[in-house]
A and B are shown apart, each in its own frame.
Chain A
């Protein structure tokens, strides 16, 4: 069984976002880069499946500037992935170009049984690469998955939908599954794991060597920070007085009731 985990490196959730003066993007100065939180669940699930299926292999795959992206791949290796590949590029790709490049490399790497991703990247929130990979690889997908059970040639998965409801879906292998937070609890890398990951050779592929025509179909521009909010209006008096005031303000001033 060969499992690929596609992961994205994103600014840490605690990162403060600043905009470049020309508004063309965010200012990366001082940003701490981490594995996209949902992708950590994908890594964890892959490693757990390998533990249950002796002989299985877990490969981590990522795309971006290799200087920083390899750090996230080393996190995946430290958590238990066997091998890692980086597609090196400084280009700012849209979801479709990213999915195309990932799909191309996945095909070149030979047969796979399962591709795991995170349900979305917390940076652009596009929630697209999982489905696009499925399209380009011509295998089915389920996104927003909170349970995976592998059986002979197929998987039984739970997909989270609105209102806490779940769809129980049967999907044949090979397929692409996008992890939601409820899937598992990602492990902390062990010290021996971290040491081993440091020594591991990460396979490097230049995006430009793949011979792909990658047209940018969507472009993000004119970045803005949210408008500053006016200062908070603190309500005074005891809790009864505060409650009465609040209801009045919401009804008569804010008009949201």
Chain B
């Protein structure tokens, strides 16, 4: 049986949805599944990982792992890699996954495909597909190395179901020499938003120039709060300084693929469309019926965002209660 090693991330004392996607996918693909888990909250989550498909768990429970350090994580991951010799390494396209796995691939001399949106594993063969040019097209990725293939998957691309694969996981606790790390994390400054990052959000409400001024983003916040959504923005309003860059959706911002994307007062420049056309359902609200955003939208409302958004918020409030 082919082996997969899944990098499992934890956020607020729970395994991230994106990691559950990978565990379940690996199990459903009939692989023998090893999970790499780390940090002080990980010991309490091994059972959850087992339920979701992990046959074996490699655990680094030192609190040093609570903050990401590339040298530390690389060293730890390599140790488990050598012990498990997996054919497939699966990770999520998070700030850690994106940083760590290209480096691990370079060290091992094996191929890595990042930001993938499709994945199939059949026996020993793997097929991944990823968007290029921020989704203006996609391509299949094939791997040359016999040794291993590393795939870093975008969040929300694979299903998560209620499952209970294993009840008592085999847990192997590791420790490594934590000295000699070249970089030092001095502090972490928390962002103002407690919400999910745009790249992981299931619903996004996004605003552009049609909101007329920075203060009107408040209307989107209210709508997003009702929907449990994260708030994004077009490049125009980021460049105008209305909102910070981490909210930008598009080719020079974040590429997103939520279930629902509501574009408010966004005209739909090609580089914005590139960043969000992967969304399952797109709602566009714009005063101009010829705005390019409507070519990508599922549902369109021609009208003034400032008038419609508060009404929508009210309607959603009724529907969600």
Contacts and interface: CB of A to CB of B under 8 A. Distances in A.
A98 to B, nearest CB: 11
B102 interface: yes
B266 to A, nearest CB: 14
Nearest to B203: A256
A169 interface: yes
Interface stretch (B24-32, B205-213, B279-287): B279-287
Given A164-B193, A246-B315, A125 B115 contact: yes
Interface in B152-186: 182-186
A256 to B, nearest CB: 4
Contacts of A90: none
Given A247-B316, A250-B281, A218 B185 contact: no
B59 to A, nearest CB: 23
B132 A123 contact: yes
Contacts of B142: 218-219, 221
Nearest to B110: A217
B15 to A, nearest CB: 15
Nearest to A230: B298
A62 interface: no
Nearest to A154: B184
Interface string B301-321: 111100110011011101110
B252 A38 contact: yes
Chain A interface, DSSP helix/strand/loop, else mixed: mixed
B284 A125 contact: no
B137 A217 contact: no
A168 to B, nearest CB: 4
Given A96-B106, A164-B246, A218-B112, A125 B255 contact: yes
Contact of B297 (A127, A163, A222, A232): A232
B113 interface: yes
Interface stretch (A46-54, A106-114, A132-140, A191-199): A132-140
Contacts, number: 271
A14 interface: yes
B134 A132 contact: no
A215 B144 contact: yes
B245 interface: yes
A126 B102 contact: yes
Contacts of B194: 163
Contact of A232 (B133, B135, B253, B300): B300
Interface string A202-233: 00000000000001111111111110011011
7 contacts: A14-B269, A127-B115, A162-B199, A229-B277, A234-B299, A239-B303, A243-B312
Interface of A: 11, 13-17, 19, 26, 37-38, 94-96, 99, 122-132, 134-136, 139-144, 146, 156, 158-172, 180-182, 215-226, 229-230, 232-235, 239-240, 242-244, 246-247, 249-251, 254, 256-257
The 7 closest A-B pairs by CB, nearest first: A164-B191, A128-B102, A217-B111, A162-B197, A135-B106, A220-B139, A140-B182
Given A223-B137, A239-B304, 19 more contacts: A13-B274, A17-B137, A142-B70, A156-B186, A162-B95, A164-B191, A181-B252, A217-B111, A218-B113, A218-B141, A220-B139, A221-B140, A224-B137, A226-B136, A234-B299, A239-B301, A239-B303, A247-B318, A247-B319
